[in-house]
Amino acid sequence: MRFADLQEADAFLAAHPEVQSFELFVIDPCGVPRGKLLRREELRAVYQSGRPLPSSILGLTIRGEDVDATGLVWDVADADCWAFPLPGSLALQTWRAQPTAQLQVSMHPSHGLPASVADPRHVLARQVTALQAEGYRPVMAAELEFYLLDRQRDAAGRPQPARQANGVRPQAPQVYGVLELEQLAPFLDDLYAACAAQNLPARTAISEYAPGQVEITLEHRTDALQAMDEAVRYKRLVRGVAHKHGHQACFMAKPFGELAGSGLHLHVSLADAAGNNLFASEEPTGTPLLRQAIGGLLETLDDGLAVFCPNANSFRRLQANSYAPLAKSWGVNNRTVSLRVPGGPAAGRHIEHRICGADANPYLAAALLLAGIRRGLREGLDPGAPIDGNGYAQARETLPTDWLSALRALERSAWAREALGADFHRVYLAIKQEEYRQFMAEVGEQDWRWYLGHA
């Protein structure tokens, strides 16, 4: 694990005398940034000797509640654990009213114990290192879909798409609409400016398949850790810029039952030490290595689904004819399958993993993706023939569509326990099982509407 050196802090402080506050954050197992707001005079010490954070910070539900079963709360007296800054993460938050910067930290492997066992970035780092030891360098990129919503609900209390620059609230999907992007120009201009300030490689923007839904792609990186670092910082940035414009950026997998869900599409290929793409082929289905990688991803898909789809809402996205996956399937230039090999030049041949909701933790999703690929390569797994045509109509082995089944599959999976690490596997399950218990115990509007007068 490589951390930033003091020179980075000194250079930033010299270049930005106006910045007095620094948001320090770590990504927890649920993918939520958690941390503290520091003053200028505290920054150098973080680089010199780290920053203590409570062990419980990585043992919280998505609602920010302690989960005692993680072993990170009372069992260890909520001990201080030392986190250190990640190189390149010190950057301006251009959306803040007062000059503010941010700094991402990760737990030190030894000084950060016991919390370091629950740091999701460490999980991905181990899988990258394992692939490199086997002679492969994973190249990755992330695409994140999100809804731009009003902070104010409608008269019925439902979320609603944000008004466009012309004052109109979008009602139709208008997928790929350029007018819709033009109407989002004030928000998109600020978003791209913020990405430039943070050195995030934001590229193409698309009006997606629902009113107010947007997708912006991030560039492929030869360092998979860097690619996922950029994905988590991008999510933080989108939320901040949206708030500045009076909106809310929503990364729920399925915020509206009748509209398209939002996904996290992970793109991956493997390179050799010289940087050559080992999936590159004039054959659209790629090299034998690519097909073995797909075989491993299909073989392990059920076991990792509770990471790819981490919340109750995540499973509402898995529907036919919705541009979201439904089955354990793969195909070439086919958006009706779970694992897609995009078209295009042979040199860029890669796999698009379309299973994750936008609510997935990018570090954990990428870690299990790489672990699945490693299994496929080690065992020489054959994915079978690619789906040609409508994958929804040809679905043979569908994905589990409920949270509890996915959690049980993760719990009994020896492969997932090894891929995540036994300690992280235990912590993650403790968090998600507690969330499941709380979610299922909550009685709300849907229960009353269905059962109040009839059961």
> Could you report the per-residue pLDDT of 33-63, keeping only the tens digit for each?
999 999 999 999 999 999 999 999 999 999 9
Query: Residue 397 is which amino acid?
Result: E
Instruction: Specify whether 360 is located in the same domain as 212.
Output: yes
CA distances from 341 to 139, 198, 297, 351, 375 (A): 15, 31, 13, 5, 19
* Number of separate domains in the chain: 2
> 114: cis peptide before it, omega within 30°?
yes
Structural element, H or E, at residue 434 = helix 422-441
What are the helix (H) ranges across 209-315?
224-244, 288-308
- Could you identify the residue written with the tokens 């910070």? 57
Same-domain status, 17 and 162: no
Is 1 a member of any domain?
no
Same domain, 69 and 145: no
**88 lies in the same domain as 27:** yes
Structural domain ending residue among the three candidates 118, 148, 173: 118
H/E element, 364: helix 362-379
How does the average pLDDT of the chain come out, rounded? 94
CA–CA separation, 312 vs 253, rounded Å?
10
Closest Cα partner for 129 from 419, 329, 392, 379? 419
Please give the average per-residue pLDDT across 283-311, as a whole number: 96
Residue 264 within a domain: yes
Give yes or no: residues 213 and 114 share one domain: no
To the nearest 10°, report the CA torsion of 113, 117, 122, 123: 170
Q: CA gyration radius for the chain? A: 22
**pLDDT value at residue 395:** 73
Spell out a b/e string for 217-230, using b for 16 or more CB atoms within 10 Å of the CB, else e: bbebbeebbebbbb
Between CA 186 and CA 182 the distance in angstroms is: 9
Other C-beta atoms lying within 10 Å of the C-beta of residue 295 = 23
Q: Report residue 241's pLDDT band, with 50, 70 and 90 as the boundaries.
A: very high
97 and 160 share one domain: no
The DSSP bridge partners found for residue 38 are: 22
Q: What is the DSSP letter of 349?
A: -
DSSP of 370-415: HHHHHHHHHHT----SPB-S-TTTT-SSBPP-SHHHHHHHHHH-HH
Environment class of residue 423 by beta-carbon count within 10 Å: exposed (0-12), middle (13-18) or buried (19+)?
Answer: middle
Residue that wins the pLDDT comparison between 208 and 23? 23
In a domain, 136, yes or no: yes
- Domain-located, residue 317: yes
Asked whether the beta carbons of 377 and 289 are under 8 A apart, the reply is yes
171 and 110 inside one domain: no
Q: Is residue 271 within a helix (H) or strand (E), and if so which, with residue range?
A: strand 264-271
Residue 322 has pLDDT above 80, yes or no: no
Q: Which of 350, 337, 448, 313 is nearest to 385 (CA)?
A: 337
**Highest mean pLDDT, choosing among 75-84, 318-327, 396-405:** 75-84
Please report which helix (H) or strand (E) contains residue 190, including its range.
helix 185-197
In a domain, 44, yes or no: yes
Instruction: Classify residue 314 by its DSSP letter.
Output: G
Buried-exposed string 189-212: b where 16+ CB fall within 10 A, e elsewhere? ebbbebbeebebbbeeebbbbbbb
Domain's final residue, options 78, 101, 118: 118
For residue 185, the domain's CATH number is: 3.30.590.10
| pLDDT band per the 50, 70, 90 thresholds, residue 288 | very high
Task: Please say whether the dihedral angle defined by the alpha carbons of residues 443, 445, 446 and 452, taken in this order, is positive or negative.
Answer: positive
Query: What is the rounded distance in angstroms from the CA atom of residue 49 to the CA atom of residue 46?
Result: 6
The band of 165, judged by pLDDT with boundaries at 50, 70 and 90, is confident
* Both tokens assigned to 220: 């492929």
Instruction: State the Cα torsion 88-93-94-97 to the nearest 10°.
Output: -160
Q: Reply yes or no on whether the pLDDT at 299 is more than 90.
A: yes
What pLDDT score does 249 carry? 96
Q: ∠265-267-269 over CA atoms, to 5°?
A: 160
For residue 129, what are the contacts with CB-CB under 8 A and spacing of at least 6?
none
Rounded Cα distance, 342 and 279, in Å: 12
Average pLDDT over residues 198-226: 92
Query: What is the rounded average pLDDT of the residues 386-408?
Result: 87
200 and 336 assigned to the same domain = yes
Residue 329 resides in a domain: yes
Residues 256 and 363 in one domain: yes
Banded model confidence at residue 248, pLDDT cuts 50, 70, 90 = very high
Q: Which of 118, 143, 166 is the last residue of a domain?
A: 118
In a domain, 455, yes or no: no
Q: What are the backbone angles phi and psi of residue 25, rounded to the nearest 5°? A: -145, 150
- Whether 290 and 319 map to the same domain: the answer is yes
pLDDT at position 107, please? 98
pTM: 0.96
- Reported as a pLDDT band with limits 50, 70 and 90, residue 28 is very high
Query: Residues 143, 112: one domain?
Result: no
State pLDDT tens for residues 99-149: 999 999 999 999 999 999 999 999 999 999 999 999 999 999 999 999 999
Q: Name the token pair of 385.
A: 């023939």
Rounded Cα distance between 409 and 419, Å, is: 14
Contact 357, 309 (CB under 8 A): yes
Asked, for residue 395, whether it belongs to a domain, the answer is yes
Q: Compute the distance between CA of residue 47 and CA of residue 226 in angstroms, rounded to an integer.
A: 19
For residue 28, give the CATH number of its domain: 3.10.20.70
Strand ranges, E, within 120-200 = 137-150
Greater pLDDT, 288 or 165: 288
pLDDT tens across 362-371, in order? Answer: 999 999 999 9
Mean pLDDT of 413-430: 98
Query: What is the span of the domain harbouring residue 188?
Result: 127-447
> Looking at the structure, do residues 351 and 205 belong to the same domain, yes or no?
yes
